[in-house]
Structure 1
Amino acid sequence: MGGAAQGRAADVTAAISAKVLERFPAGSPRGSWPAEEYAARRRAEGEAATVVMDLESDAFLVVVPADED
């Protein structure tokens, strides 16, 4: 593997080492962003929350980095 393929593999590894806080179905009404709103509330509380798309389940996941204990 070389170039861009290696970058994609690194992204997948990062996603696997994340803790899922909440799941939101992708079919929300137009203009509604519940996953982004939830992640923003968590960030306001000091968590490094971000939103990723799980294509397999057609859902948005709010994730934080996993603890590396």
Structure 2
Amino acid sequence: MTSARVVAHFPAGGPRGSWPAEEAAAERCARGEAARVVMDLERDAFLVVVGEQAGATTNA
């Protein structure tokens, strides 16, 4: 199992129509990294996570 790491975080209350976390994850995916966006409910933020195997869970 590969450990995950958070490479970026964005506040959940961004401007309407703005998806900065998804854009950051897409840029990393375009460079060949497995990146995805997860929600951190405690911080009310979206996190970009890399280095995680599919189906694994993260305690970010």
TM-score bucket (shorter structure): 0.7 to 0.9
- Shift of residue 65, structure 1, vs aligned partner: 2.3
Residue ranges of structure 1 left out of the alignment (5+ in a row): 1-16
Root-mean-square deviation (Å): 1.6
- Establish whether residue 21 from structure 1 lines up as the match of residue 14 from structure 2: no
- Shift of residue 18, structure 1, vs aligned partner: 1.6
After TM superposition, list the pairs within 5 Å mapping 1:1-69 onto structure 2: 17-65=3-51
Deviations 1:10-68 (A, max 9, x none): xxxxxxx42001000001011100000000000000000000000000000000125xx
Regions of 4+ moved over 4 Å: none
Higher helix share: 1
**Greater C-alpha Rg:** 1
Give the TM-score of the pair, scaled to structure 1.
0.69
Residue aligning to 1:12: none
Amino acid at match of 1:45: R
**Same amino acid, percent of matched pairs:** 74
